[in-house]
A and B are shown apart, each in its own frame.
Chain A
Amino acid sequence: MKYVDEYRNEADVQKFAAAIRRLVTRPWTLMEICGGQTHTIIKSGIDHLLPSEVTLVHGPGCPVCVTPLELIDKAVAIARRPEVIFTSFGDMLRVPGSEADLLSVKAAGGDVRMVYSPLDAVKLAQKHPDREVVFFAVGFETTAPANAMAVWQASQLGLRNFSILCSHVLVPPAMEAILGSPNNQVQGFLAAGHVCTVMGYWEYEPIAERYRLPIVVTGFEPLDLLQGIYMALKALEEGRWGVENQYTRAVTREGNRPAQALVRQVFEVTDRPWRGIGVIPMSGYRLRPEYAAYDAERRFGVGRITAQESPLCIAGQIMQGWKKPTDCSAFGTLCTPEHPLGAPMVSSEGACAAYYHYARAAVVA
């Protein structure tokens, strides 16, 4: 298939893998930010193509994984209300809250629907004026423009029965939180290509300067990842730092300006709790006061719900790159995709789920 097969060509992949083997002279640790990249790495077996000196650690860039437990509980509380049609992206439905997930709310009679775009939720609100339609607006900068557009459209249409449960998070503050930690092991980043498609990469330049490390904006196909890894390792081996762009077919330095403008119009930056990590200052979006009418937390009075994480789950340490899923005592035993203790085991982008599905058994050559 055009535009896909080119990036999954075995001969080219082997060429890059060989170039990386020739390049590396000592151990390096890289972090790929995005869960989509983690999945490509594990699903296509890229980790097995790299020399043993190179360690890939998996970053916090899975929107499902970092959404706080208490927000899932708020979603569950809202979705249980009889007047509500609760809409969500597919992979949020199975994330366990303290006592239920959205699929079990649906099983118990709640009107929970999967949508592919928040704009479809706006359409539902138009179609069902007698119901309250709520969209679960989670994700990184990638999903923010579409969520901003949904709120903006609802306001233009004068819809009074549409709202969003919002927990947007931002990549750069999370990178700084990881780099600022005394436990940090990350020496270079593969930045998330799709986040940068929206935001550009100028925001990463001061981070690369301050911490003197390479950040390579990287795509999601196997060849993208190998090239991104190669570029980051080459910079490390040559003692260079700064931002480089591997994903030039989609990303510019400035990013998508109309999308950024819309996001700024609807959202403002705020402190956000990250599941497993804790509160990171100025690391998320919330609705601006002008759009407070579209805030589901306020509309349904669920602001005071709080929740406690499982003490066994080390998701936070995994998402900051200190540990691998297989270092967790609960991995594959107490914590499985059927009984996840933490979100990284649920989401198709979660590091634990990736390890469980694709690499659980020792790979037999």
Chain B
Amino acid sequence: MHLPDFTLACPIPISEYPAITLAHGGGGRLTHMLIERMLRPAFANPALDALHDGAILTLFDGAGPAAGAPGLRLAFTTDSYVISPRFFPGGDIGSLAVHGTINDLAMCGAQPLALSAALILEEGLPMEELWQVVRSMQAAAAAAGVPIVTGDTKVVDRGKGDGLFINTSGIGLIPADVEIAPQRARPGDAVLVSGAIAVHGIAIMSVREGLEFETTLASDTAPLHGLVGEILAAGGRDVHVLRDPTRGGVASALNEIAAAARVGIRLDERAIPVDDEVRGACEILGLDPLYVANEGKCLAVVAPEAAEAVLAAMRRHPLGRQAALIGEVVDAHPGKVFLRSRIGGLRVVDMISGEQLPRIC
């Protein structure tokens, strides 16, 4: 086979990064570079180019037997779970793998239909531990009402995996009157968050080796499709963007939206809900809660006229009681997120490069 324009040059200059570092997986600037410069050009297609939490595939689009009928839109997504520790306050790798993929579907505006689960097991993993994780996946899937319908199992040599990795994929159906895409954010839109931020990341950090500290915090991991159902029922087409701010936190998610829609975003620090315990831990560790991971929260960018109704709908749902209006989309500074600080100053909320690291003093 002849590939005339095929180039062997790696799009990420070897001189800069001869090997993958952990920062490439941190959800910040380096992750972004990996996607933008290597993966997206390599796999380029319209569904991928939408840069959503999942791909949106339109079936029967006005052709064949369903000619004239509105297209049936499926959301399709996948995510891998490689966390350590595997068990943490409020959840474990199993429940996280189920919730995470359900949430990626929900952030496309889809109602989840089914999940797959692939388990990569390291030789020597205690059977009892695997059973605990499997039961946790089962319980999470049952509680969310989304079945795990297919799967795969592989075992790797001792030392070639970190005990247990899980990949889940999911498909969901997008209702006809829903159109969620990061590009739809427009000046004037309200930015809402469904509850207090940074809980998951701090709960995980509190049990990490070397950083253990005492806290009653539990991860906020939860399936968000119910909450999203309420948001869409209240806002319909006025709901422009949904995003669950996982890795990289609220700051990274909003930067991605600002870049995709070529708009600015202006936040009000005082309006952003952060629980005292999380704030305390962030102060001590020198972390900014805006960059800390969440697993049971969603950001919604909605038209100003629908903001009040959507906020009220969020607050009625058990997972959205602390929902708040935290900012707005603006014309100015496209692609950038600014924050009005608690004392009235203004600063840039940038993408982070790599993971946030606790400070010396």
Contacts and interface: CB of A to CB of B under 8 A. Distances in A.
Q: Label chain B's interface by main secondary structure.
A: loop
Contacts of A90: 357-360
A139 B342 contact: no
A113 B344 contact: no
B341 A45 contact: yes
A36 B359 CA distance: 10
B279 A4 contact: yes
A103 B344 contact: no
A247 B348 CA distance: 29
Given A4-B279, A45-B347, A222-B343, 7 more contacts: A10-B343, A44-B343, A63-B360, A94-B357, A104-B21, A107-B22, A348-B357
Interface in B254-275: 264
Closest 8 pairs between A and B when the two form their complex, measured CB to CB: A45-B345, A90-B357, A90-B358, A13-B343, A358-B347, A115-B210, A89-B360, A44-B341
Interface in A118-158: 120, 124, 138-140, 142-143
A226 B210 CA distance: 35
A234 B30 CA distance: 46
A357 B348 contact: yes
Contacts of B29: 337-338
A interface residue count range (under 10 / 10 to 19 / 20 to 34 / 35 or more): 35 or more
Contacts of A142: 361
A87 interface: yes
B210 A358 contact: no
Interface in B266-291: 276, 279-280, 283, 285-286
Contacts of A237: none
Interface string B321-361: 00000000000110010100111111110100110111111
Contacts of B359: 36, 89-91, 348-349
A153 to B, nearest CB: 17
Interface in A82-97: 87, 89-94
Contacts of A48: 345-346
A327 B105 CA distance: 47
Interface in B189-225: 209-211, 213
19 contacts: A1-B276, A4-B279, A8-B342, A89-B358, A90-B360, A92-B360, A103-B21, A107-B20, A120-B210, A139-B360, A142-B361, A194-B361, A222-B342, A337-B29, A337-B353, A357-B348, A358-B350, A359-B348, A361-B333
Contacts of B213: 116
Nearest to A89: B360
Contacts of B130: none
B22 A360 contact: no
A13 B344 contact: yes
Interface string A32-74: 0000100000111110110000000000000110000000000
Interface of A: 1, 4-5, 8-10, 13-14, 36, 42-46, 48-49, 63-64, 87, 89-94, 103-104, 106-108, 113-116, 120, 124, 138-140, 142-143, 194, 222-223, 336-339, 348-349, 356-361, 363-365
B176 interface: no
Given A1-B276, A14-B344, A364-B338, A107 B360 contact: no
A357 B350 contact: yes
Contacts of A89: 358-360
B345 A115 contact: no
B106 to A, nearest CB: 31
Interface string B14-37: 001001111100000110000000
A347 to B, nearest CB: 8
Q: Indicate the member of B209, B333, B343 with the most A CB atoms within 10 Å.
A: B343
Given A45-B346, A91-B357, A107 B21 contact: yes
Contacts of A106: 22
A10 B344 CA distance: 6
Nearest to A116: B211
A148 to B, nearest CB: 15
Contacts of A93: 357
A103 B343 contact: no
Contact of A64 (B344, B348, B360): B360
Nearest to A101: B21
Contact of B347 (A4, A42, A64, A104): A42
A22 B343 CA distance: 20
Contact of B22 (A87, A103, A349): A103
Contact of A348 (B211, B280, B286, B346): B286
A138 B360 contact: yes
Nearest to A226: B343
Given A103-B22, A357-B348, A114 B361 contact: no
B93 to A, nearest CB: 21
B8 to A, nearest CB: 24
A233 B209 CA distance: 46
Nearest to B19: A107
